[in-house]
């Protein structure tokens, strides 16, 4: 009876110890967030005097926006003027919101430095950095990225015909080594300035998750998908060389005109006789009709026009007269001159629809063949309502092991960048790309202590039973 009671007491003690261990912070949650965050540039710690080349997007005043992709109502990341602000950056990385984020190397698209941060994840260390051209040089990243790209879009590529019965997927596979070499040589600069949203480490499973913030659909980065655009031209050049004259009458503004009549009809029934004398029977005598009206011998006949080809008063000056060019084409006085644009600030058909995106150059790989593939793939994805999703890339060093975080699958962030260009960009910061990798786990110190305690109790109970026996 005594032995049984002792066994029960030992069992109860072990159970209580296990219960206590389960309730300790080490077992309360398996997810660990980064702590002791320190920003670095090329491995050197940044300071207030040497600010890191980063920027942070977070929420300021409450603001929503429905003008982004799909017309969803998204919360605006309107607090974005935070260049070099490490306090804002740390808050964004630790707030459990993947949409708030920090861009690494925010000054330009050609990434020249490893800009990032180091942190602790429990007893583990992590460094997250921007990706430079040098990171592509050994081919490891290029091979992994192209394999991931091919796996994600192989089906879509196989539907795009190319030359002589081939298709894009076959061409991609046949030229795989060439594409690896191209990325090894040129890198992919536009992808190296990743926006980091959230980091979490599961200390039980060893899974590390890094959320990259990007575009929910990147098709518009390669193809102009806008069917209409807002016409921002206040004036345009008048392209019409001639116009139809719609004026039935015009105002005669000529004070004088050239008299073009060589002859005129003499309308004078009588004229004043200007001859002082006349000859009668061979004698010169006074003219009895001198200076008096007499019948006009040229009345109603054509006579030379005394004002022919001379300026004379215009009888219709300042009066409406029949327009000789009414309803006819006449030269356009505004041809090739600036005139008010009738469609200013209105939607008009986009003349570049399905052409190269204004962002294509900024998002190119620098290799003409691969860039052409990306353009055609993006165009096909858009026309078939297939999201074209490609994340930026971050360099991850976890306990001295180097990996590269990227993804070809995104979920909607529920947010949108407040500083985007609303004319051309409907997707900035709308996508969350989650990268995951499982690392070998090592028990937490508190867990080890708990296991040692349990082990000690078990050994002690066994020794007690042997002694009592």
Tens of pLDDT, residues 416-445: 999 999 888 999 999 999 999 999 876 655
User: How confident is the model at residue 443, as a pLDDT?
Assistant: 60
pLDDT above 90 for 359: no
- Please indicate whether residue 32 or residue 11 has the higher confidence score (pLDDT): 32
Tens-place pLDDT, residues 377-402:
999 999 999 999 999 999 999 999 99
User: How confident is the model at residue 25, as a pLDDT?
Assistant: 43
Tens-place pLDDT, residues 241-271:
999 999 999 999 999 999 999 999 999 999 9
pLDDT above 50 for 12: no
Average pLDDT estimate for 233-237: 94
Contact 275, 286 (CB under 8 A): no
User: How confident is the model at residue 45, as a pLDDT?
Assistant: 96
Average pLDDT estimate for 18-47: 74
User: How confident is the model at residue 44, as a pLDDT?
Assistant: 96
Average pLDDT estimate for 330-355: 94
**pTM (two decimals):** 0.73
Long-range contacts made by residues 265-273, C-beta under 8 angstroms, separation at least 24? 265/300, 265/301, 265/302, 265/303, 266/296, 266/298, 266/299, 266/300, 266/301, 266/302, 266/303, 267/299, 267/300, 268/296, 268/299, 269/295, 269/296, 269/299, 270/294, 270/295, 270/296, 271/296
- Please indicate whether residue 10 or residue 128 has the higher confidence score (pLDDT): 128
User: How confident is the model at residue 189, as a pLDDT?
Assistant: 79
Per the prediction, the chain carries an average pLDDT of 88
pLDDT above 60 for 16: no
Nearest to 133, CA basis, from 181, 194, 186: 186
Residue boundaries of the structural domains of the chain: 2-13+15-26+454-468, 33-226+353-438, 242-340
DSSP structure string for 62-79: --EE--SGGG--EEEE-B
Residue ranges with strand state E in 309-405 = 311-313, 320-322, 329-331, 338-340, 347-349, 394-398, 401-405
Tens-place pLDDT, residues 274-324:
999 999 999 999 999 999 999 999 899 998 999 999 999 999 999 999 999
Q: Identify the band that residue 363 occupies on the pLDDT scale cut at 50, 70 and 90.
A: confident
Q: Which residues contact 251 (CB under 8 A, 6 or more apart)?
A: 318, 319, 320, 321
């Amino acid at each position: 009876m005594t032995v049984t009671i002792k066994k029960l007491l030992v069992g109860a003690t072990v159970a209580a110890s296990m219960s206590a261990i389960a309730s300790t912070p080490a077992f309360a949650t398996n997810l660990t967030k980064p702590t002791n965050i320190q920003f670095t540039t090329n491995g050197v710690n940044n300071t207030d005097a040497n600010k890191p080349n980063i920027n942070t997007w977070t929420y300021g005043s409450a603001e929503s926006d429905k003008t982004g992709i799909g017309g969803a109502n998204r919360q605006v990341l309107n607090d974005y003027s935070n260049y070099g602000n490490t306090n804002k950056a740390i808050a964004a990385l630790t707030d459990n919101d993947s949409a708030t984020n920090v861009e690494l190397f925010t000054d330009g698209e050609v990434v020249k430095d490893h800009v990032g941060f180091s942190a602790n994840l429990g007893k583990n260390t992590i460094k997250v950095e921007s990706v430079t051209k040098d990171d592509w040089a050994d081919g490891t990243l290029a091979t992994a990225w192209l394999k991931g790209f091919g796996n994600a879009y192989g089906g879509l590529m196989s539907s795009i015909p190319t030359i002589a019965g081939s298709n894009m997927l076959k061409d991609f596979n046949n030229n795989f080594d060439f594409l690896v070499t191209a990325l090894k040589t040129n890198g992919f600069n536009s992808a190296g300035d990743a926006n980091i949203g959230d980091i979490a480490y599961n200390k039980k499973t060893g899974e590390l998750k890094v959320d990259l913030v990007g575009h929910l659909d990147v098709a518009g980065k390669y193809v102009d998908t806008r069917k209409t655009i807002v016409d921002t031209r206040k004036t345009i050049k008048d392209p019409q060389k001639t116009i139809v004259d719609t004026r039935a009458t015009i105002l005669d503004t000529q004070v004088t005109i050239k008299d073009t009549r060589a002859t005129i009809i003499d309308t004078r029934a009588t004229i004043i006789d200007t001859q002082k004398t006349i000859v009668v029977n061979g004698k010169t005598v006074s003219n009895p009709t001198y200076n008096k009206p007499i019948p006009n011998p040229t009345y109603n006949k054509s006579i030379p026009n005394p004002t022919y080809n001379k300026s004379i008063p215009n009888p219709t000056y300042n009066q409406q007269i029949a327009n000789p060019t009414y309803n006819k084409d006449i030269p356009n006085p505004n041809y090739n001159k600036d005139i008010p644009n009738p469609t200013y600030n209105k939607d008009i058909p986009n003349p570049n629809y399905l052409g190269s995106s204004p962002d294509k150059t900024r998002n190119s790989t620098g290799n003409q063949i691969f860039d052409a593939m990306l353009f055609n793939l993006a165009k096909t994805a858009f026309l078939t309502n297939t999201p074209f999703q490609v994340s930026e890339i971050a360099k991850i060093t976890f306990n001295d092991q180097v990996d590269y975080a990227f993804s070809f699958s995104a979920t909607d962030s529920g947010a949108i960048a407040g500083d985007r260009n609303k004319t051309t960009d409907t997707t900035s910061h709308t996508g969350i790309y989650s990268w995951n990798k499982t690392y070998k786990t090592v028990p937490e110190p508190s867990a080890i202590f708990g296991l040692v305690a349990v082990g000690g109790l078990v050994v002690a109970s066994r020794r007690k039973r042997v002694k009592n026996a």
